[in-house]
């Protein structure tokens, strides 16, 4: 399982209570976030911050979070890095 935080707010101090709760209630469960211009739940735009849970059916499922910055790298360069990252992990599939 993992959690994804969707937020229009980029201020870490305002987001900290959200990840503090996730870490306290679900220790050892990874979480990651993304900026978004709208959080849509049940076809309705929600508040500035929403959290979704990702639950894997098999306990053997794995995932890796890698961050890329489009302001520093080209799309082609990032795509090449993603392919290289996937190639070095035998469990990875694109």
Handedness of CA 49, 23, 28, 87 (dihedral sign): positive
pLDDT at residue 6 in the model: 86
pLDDT over 70 at 74, yes or no? yes
Closest CA to 68 of 84, 54, 57, 53: 84
Answer with the residue of higher pLDDT: 10 or 37.
10
**pTM for this entry:** 0.67
């Amino acid at each position: 399982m993992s959690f994804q935080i969707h937020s229009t707010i980029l201020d870490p101090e305002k987001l900290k209570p959200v990840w503090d709760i996730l870490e306290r209630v679900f220790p050892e469960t990874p979480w990651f976030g993304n900026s978004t211009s709208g959080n849509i739940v049940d076809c309705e735009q929600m508040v500035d911050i929403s959290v979704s849970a990702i639950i894997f059916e098999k306990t053997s499922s794995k995932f890796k979070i890698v961050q890329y910055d489009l302001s520093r790298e080209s799309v082609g360069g990032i795509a090449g890095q993603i392919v290289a990252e996937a190639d070095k992990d035998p469990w990875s599939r694109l």
